[in-house]
Amino acid sequence: MTDAIALNTPIQAHGETLTELTLRRPTAKEALPYKIDADQAVSLDLDVAAKYIAACAEIPPSSVDQLDLADLNTLAWQVAGFFMVPASKTLAA
């Protein structure tokens, strides 16, 4: 679990108003929410990230659709961070 992430704009989920979300760590069987381009640039696949947000925050996809764009971006990068290895842990070439 991550720390709770405060939302800029509250959303509705399960009949409640949510002002923050907590994401669980994805399982190893789940695909990556970002891609690495040929030039090594990292970009998010927001469709996949939205599915992760719904699953990991345990909210319905319709609640993800309510997210403010800034909140979506913050949560999507939080999910992507679960898959990224810190530079200190990568193997030296």
- pLDDT of the chain along its 93 residues, tens only? 678 999 999 999 999 999 999 998 877 666 665 566 677 666 778 888 899 999 999 999 999 999 999 999 999 989 888 877 665 555 554
Q: Quick one: CA dihedral 90, 49, 56, 78, positive or negative?
A: positive
Residue 64, H or E segment: helix 61-64
- Considering the entire predicted model, what is its pTM? 0.73
16-21 and 5-13 beta bridge pairing: antiparallel
Q: Which residue has the tokens 């399982």?
A: 27
Q: How many angstroms separate the CA atoms of 47 and 86, rounded?
A: 25
Instruction: Spell out the domain ranges in the chain.
Output: 5-24+34-83
Would you give the DSSP letter of residue 65?
T
